[in-house]
Structure 1
């Protein structure tokens, strides 16, 4: 067996070198940005008015003037006009360019306009209601880093930068393969000795966080059939993720079938609970994760190893895990790393983890009540004290 830390290190040494494609910015939602975006001009590109009202030269107000003759109006989208006298003002609309020779904007709500004269009714400050040119970003400055998962605000940003197309990473085709003669499809009515497939859908849903392109397959518990099916999958998919068939049972043929297809074993079994039987291997063109078939084990191993592997390949994984605080004392005697299902409670901004009762790694129903797993590292001490800070993996 390898330790959790060693297993993670070995996996991360084999991250993918991904292709990049250019796609229309409107279709980039959920993709991972493969380039830095920089400001092509100042943002905002001019002194921008943020309220409908009047623009004045503050010096006149400072010298006691409260009534200003309306010279003209400037709307958003109009070219900048010039205030001809500090005894006058210009009506200005939100989003418009601040008129030349003005430096302060007063809301309509704070003025009274009668017979072409605008009277200021409140105390004002110089420079108010103006979004200054370049205060958000200067031309040439970085606005969005490579490795960012693109959301709606990033789409709007790309449009404002004139980026008609964005370079994004292309994840490899991923096959998720269930194993086990006891499994039937979701639409089937299982016999008393059968269960419906669910692990593959849990894996797929977790990996959708990185917009992975996934296809499902099933392999019967037969060595010859497993060898042939894996041979086909290795030709078509860069990443294979198995669920089941990797433990010590007489029907667990996946490791042997992979070996017969020249997939090199990097490790088999991790000193952890749940998820101990996990297998990881590779060829020159493929990476293979073979996860235990128990649902909680599958879920945990996907969160702890497979998702971070894909995130690092995309440049979105910073190498740090979320941290939480143990909310109560925990005793765990086996010399293994222990991944415990927990509920998270926010107490004044601090996140505390409290263990949940469950019926082992086959109890996938228990996951619906969990916020995630905490990692209690393997150590000589079997006592984990309340208040200890530990890694957390959110469901």
Structure 2
């Protein structure tokens, strides 16, 4: 049995880039950039009017304003640049328009009165304001989005602005989610007294869907020969296998033996943590298929997936997953032998996390009350209220 940090290091040692693909901008949100993005011109590309009003030539900020300015015309957004022909005149300007040549200051409509083709100014002095200067956001050729960044909705606007109708992103690995166990039936079936419906595969499937990955779901019965035959096929077909169940110490937990027979290199089996201690991880030597074999209890499966797989996935796609930390809302006794993932709720007033009790790692329904899991590392000293610890959010 290894400690949690060693297990994570071994998982991350198997990160793998699966190549790149080009997708339409409209399908790029949530994906990971596989190219650096540069501006193709200054941003903004011209001196841009920031307020509806009038544009004048002020020159020196100490110059007093004229009491009124005859209006020469209107500079609309999207129209070619106009030129102020007389310095004692003005041009009406609209938000987003290019600043007219010969002007340097915008006075908003709130500070002027328009009457009979003349703008009467209500203020005595002005400063050179309400002009978004050319290149002030980013100069032409500047790096604005880095390779490896997860694309958020705000990034889509940047990509559109620099003309990226198609974006090069990291390919997702192909993933199969596999449940094992003769006690499991499909969700649309009525279970017998000794059976339960599948749930873990759907938790994992939904978690992957949030990442934009459409995984396949499979079920294999607890038969050594059947497991060996079907896993051999799946190992050759997919980049990653996520399994739930079959790795504990029971007489029907065949997976560790089957993996060995199929040429899978075990990197570890059993981690000094609770829940999820029987977690098994390895890779196939020939096909380089990564195998995450989680214990079957639902909370154990989910915790291992959030902590190990999510960090592996982000590392493989080019970005270190930024782990959140939360403040503990009460003291918790230490455990020098095991790291613990504690189910917590977030206090809506303080934002601190508070553990709550449930029926252990087999209590699927506790996930409905859980805001996330707080990682309590192995140590002799108790965990104290106010301490900030790693938090795995259930999104």
Fold shared, TM-score > 0.5 on shorter chain:
yes
Where do 5+ consecutive residues of structure 1 fail to align?
none
Alignment partner, residue 311 of structure 2: 308
Alignment partner, residue 168 of structure 1: 169
Alignment partner, residue 325 of structure 1: 327
Paired residue for 1:290, among 282, 293, 304?
Answer: 293
Q: 3-state SS of the aligned residue for 2:347? A: strand
Normalising by structure 2, we get a TM-score of 0.95
Correspondence 1:385 to 2:384: yes
How far apart in 1 are the matches of 2:65 and 2:300?
76
Alignment partner, residue 299 of structure 1: 302
CA RMSD of aligned residues (A): 1.7
Alignment partner, residue 111 of structure 2: 110
Q: Tell which deviates more after alignment, 288-297 or 29-38.
A: 29-38
Q: Tell which deviates more after alignment, 257-266 or 153-162.
A: 153-162
* 1:325-382 alpha-carbon deviations (Å, 9 max, x no partner): 221111254611111001122666xx4221111111001111111111111111234x
Q: Tell me if the contact between 1:171 and 1:213 (Cα under 8 Å) persists in the aligned partners.
A: no
How far apart in 1 are the matches of 2:275 and 2:19?
34
Q: Tell me if the contact between 2:57 and 2:102 (Cα under 8 Å) persists in the aligned partners.
A: yes
How far apart in 2 are the matches of 1:74 and 1:60?
23
Q: Tell me if the contact between 2:244 and 2:293 (Cα under 8 Å) persists in the aligned partners.
A: yes
How far apart in 2 are the matches of 1:131 and 1:376?
49
Alignment partner, residue 196 of structure 1: 197
Q: Tell me if the contact between 1:207 and 1:307 (Cα under 8 Å) persists in the aligned partners.
A: no
Q: 3-state SS of the aligned residue for 1:341? A: strand
Alignment partner, residue 371 of structure 2: 371
Q: Tell me if the contact between 1:106 and 1:124 (Cα under 8 Å) persists in the aligned partners.
A: no
Normalising by structure 1, we get a TM-score of 0.95
* 1:223-250 alpha-carbon deviations (Å, 9 max, x no partner): 0000001001011001001000110111
How far apart in 2 are the matches of 1:93 and 1:341?
55
Q: Tell me if the contact between 2:334 and 2:379 (Cα under 8 Å) persists in the aligned partners.
A: no
**How far has the Cα of 1:191 moved from its partner?**
1.4
Alignment partner, residue 56 of structure 2: 56
**How far has the Cα of 1:107 moved from its partner?**
2.1
Where do residues 5-84 of structure 1 align in structure 2 (5 Å cutoff)? Answer: 5-59=5-59, 62-84=63-85
Q: 3-state SS of the aligned residue for 2:194? A: coil
Q: Tell me if the contact between 1:52 and 1:92 (Cα under 8 Å) persists in the aligned partners.
A: yes
Alignment partner, residue 342 of structure 2: 340
Q: 3-state SS of the aligned residue for 1:293? A: coil
Q: Tell me if the contact between 1:221 and 1:251 (Cα under 8 Å) persists in the aligned partners.
A: yes
Q: Tell me if the contact between 1:182 and 1:193 (Cα under 8 Å) persists in the aligned partners.
A: yes
Q: Tell which deviates more after alignment, 107-116 or 82-91.
A: 107-116
Q: Tell which deviates more after alignment, 63-72 or 52-61.
A: 52-61
**How far has the Cα of 1:259 moved from its partner?**
1.2
**How far has the Cα of 1:388 moved from its partner?**
2.2
**How far has the Cα of 1:160 moved from its partner?**
1.2
